Every structure is written in structure tokens, then in C-alpha cells.
Amino acid sequence: MVYELALGINGNTTDSVKLKATALLKKAIYLRGEPDSEGRASNFANDAVRIVCHKSFYDNGSKSLKHFAEFQKTIPPAALFLVGTIIRNVICIYSKYGQVNRTKQTPIEDLENSYDRISTLFNRTNKDAYHGLKLRQMLKAWALEGMNVHGAGLGDHEGDDSSEWDVDLA
């Protein structure tokens, strides 16, 4: 799933971007990838999440996190929470304004709350027999992909339909 929030793409207007962004925030859709081969949800598997993880943690810089053993084996949960928080807050800006203002900083609210909620969603997913195994395998695969592509080196409101905080464990 791609977000397609840029103005002018597919006839996007400020109002349509706001609506699309708002829809992505509901039930944390922005974190989900395409359903798996069994038609079940792929929580935390959105391609944007994978791309941001790779660009953030596995670049070829001397301070890249790929040099740490933990990142060589898997994407650590806390790193995934951070990426999810950043993506969520950018989508919130689109939801509020219909675009990102490149000339001035836009205040982002509730970063800690977003991080905590994403952590809760992750923990719920990780505890599920089916989705937890799939999630852990995916994070290991992303880390391996990041190492290979960028060079090898040594809560509350859960599950209600009105909430933007939910994972699909069906």
C-alpha cells in the first residue's frame, strides 16, 4: 500500500489529501502492508515502514546502526516504534493541513503518546501466535535485506472501531 498524499498526484487536492491521511490514521492502517497469502493482515509491514527503516538504520555511513549486532539480526522493536511514530506524525500533518510546509517547522504533538501506542500495538501483534511469528520473521528479513542492500558488516482504546489505534489479528 502506498500513501499517495502528494498534491497533484491522482488529482489530489488539499481536501482529498486530508481525507486520505485521516483514513490512514484510523486503526493504524498506515502501518499495514498488503494481506498475506492467507488473506490475513500484515501488521507493521507497510513498504514505507521498511524503506524508512532501511534508510535510517542501514545506510553506509560510519555511524550507521548496522554496525551494532542487534541491528544485524533484526530491526529492534524500539527502532520500529520510532519509525512508526515519525511516519504517523507526518501523516497527521497531511491530515491537518493537506500538505507538508517545507518552509517552516510544523509542531508535532503527542510524540510520546504515539510511541507508547505503537509499542502497545506491537506487543499485541507479537503475542499473537500467527501474527507474532510473522512479524518477527519479517523484521529479521528486513534486517538481512538492509545488511545485504547497504553492505554487509559485523493500551487504552484497543480494538474499538472508532480508534486510530488498532491491529488486525483476524
Per residue of the chain (170 residues), what is the pLDDT tens digit?
A: 679 898 888 889 999 999 999 999 999 999 999 999 999 999 999 999 999 999 999 987 767 888 888 999 999 999 999 999 999 998 998 999 898 877 666 666 678 899 999 999 999 999 999 999 999 999 999 999 998 875 444 333 344 455 565 666 65
- Which amino acid type is present at position 32? R
Q: How far is CA 165 from the centre of its chain?
A: 13
Other beta carbons less than 10 A from residue 80's beta carbon: 22
